[in-house]
Structures are given as C-alpha cells and as structure tokens.
Amino acid sequence: QLQLQESGPGLVKPSETLSLTCTLSGGSISDIRYNWGWLRQPPGKGLEWIGSIYYTGSIYSNPSLKSRVTVAVDTSVNQFSLKLTSVTAADTAIYYCARQFRDIGNPSFWYFDLWGRGTLVTVSS
Amino acid sequence: QSVLTQPPSVSGAPGQVVTISCTGNSSNIATGSAVHWYQRLPGTAPKLLIYSNVIRPSGVPDRFSGYRSGASASLAITGLQAEDEGDYYCQSYASRLNGPWVFGGGTKLTVL
C-alpha cells in the first residue's frame, strides 16, 4: 500500500534543530513524476509549504524559511528529510510530508496528491 | 495570515449544497495558476479532492466540484453527507515572494 510516514522527535528545545524523516512505502522515491515535500500547520492556522525536493536533489524552498531549512533525499532507503534550525515557539506545528505531482512541466499546476498523517512537533524548553 | 483567503467556517444540512470560496490576487490565482482542493477529515491525513481547478481524482465522488474564475475559486459540495464534515483547504501557485506553493487558511465544514 502506497503511503508516507513521518518520524522524529515530538519535542524540540528553542534554538535547537528540528529533524524529521519521511519514509515512502509501496512506491519509489525516484519516480520522475514527483517531488517530495514538507508542509506544516501551526495550531489554529492554515497550511504552509516549507520545501520540496526532487530525487536528483533539486530543491524548492519557501523564501520565508529558506535560511533555516535543509531538505535532503536518500533514494537508497526511499526517504527524504527536513531540518529546521534555530526553532522558536512559532515553529510548533503539525508537520506533514507529501508527494507533489510535477508531471506537467509548469510548476503553477503542481499539487500534493499523497500525504502522511502528520506529526506534532512542539518547541518548548 | 494565509496568502489565499477562505471563510473560516460553513455549514449545511444533509442533502444541501455548500460552497467554499478561495480568494487570491494578481500574484497567484489571477495569473492563471491552477487551484487545488484538499479535504482533511478528523484524525486522517489530508486528501487531494480536486486538482487543476476542476478535476476529481479517481475515487472522489462527483458530489464535489471545483470552479476557478479570475482571482478566485470555489469548491461546491452537493448532497451534503455527515461524512463530509471536516476541514477544506485550497492551494495555488504564487510568485516567489510568498511561495511558490501557497494555501488558504482552511474552512471548517459542519454538517448540521
């Protein structure tokens, strides 16, 4: 069954680095039709796209987070990862990994067609 | 504050029609960027409901339909069912200043 699963610590201290991994099962992360993305939803707020990566390593990042975000992919184990540095309470959110369909060349048509269930990350001392 | 604007909540009785709006501007929807819709039911992962403005993925009932015009889009749900209760989000593509992939704040649908 095709699915994505996030994993990582649920509690991170302020100023430290948030690290999450997403594992794809039932498919290949090297599928040329897709990017692999990270999104989040802070409590009481809307969804925010963080960044996406193609299996070749090409990265797309949200300009508002770019200086703190690292996204990486490991095709050998069908995983991709997120690192967010210097976290504050504002980074407390449910973090989702998702597959982003990119088959049509124009990025304005790309969308997220498979999501993980999400993992709550709380930033607190 | 989300880039795309959605009403915080809508409600309807079983069998009725509800519409959820998604308003953008000249840097996103109005440029011709596609609008996509997602459904998140309680305790579940978000699910793609409509893509490229009007297309339903396989398995999505035809009770769900999408429409885009100008700088806005809408999602219509006909024959409302109790199982439709949840959160709905629109998504589009914006200039690199605030994106590029941007979302609405979400709309909570309550089935009365």
Mean pLDDT per block of 10 residues along chain B (112 residues) reads: 92 97 89 93 93 96 95 96 97 78 95 95
Contacts of B102 in chain A (CB under 8 A): 49
Contacts of B51 in chain A (CB under 8 A): 101, 111, 113
Closest Cα in chain A, distance from residue B106 (Å): 6
What's the mean pLDDT when you consider all of chain B? Answer: 93
Those residues with Cβ within 8 angstroms of residue B76's Cβ, 6 or more apart along the chain or in another chain: B17, B18, B19, B20, B64, B65, B66, B67
A45-67 pLDDT, tens digit per residue, is 999 999 999 999 999 999 989 89
> What is the dihedral sign for C-alpha B1, A112, B97, A62?
positive
**Could you tell me which of B28, B8, B19, B102 has the C-alpha nearest to residue B71?**
B28
Say yes or no: A113 contacts chain B, CB-CB below 8 A.
yes
Q: Phi, psi at residue A80, to the nearest 5°?
A: -135, 160
Closest Cα in chain B, distance from residue A2 (Å): 13
Distance CA B103, CA A46 (A): 7
Contact A46 B103 (CB under 8 A): yes
**Could you tell me which of B27, B17, B10 has the C-alpha nearest to residue B88?**
B10
For A44, the closest chain B residue by CA position comes to B105
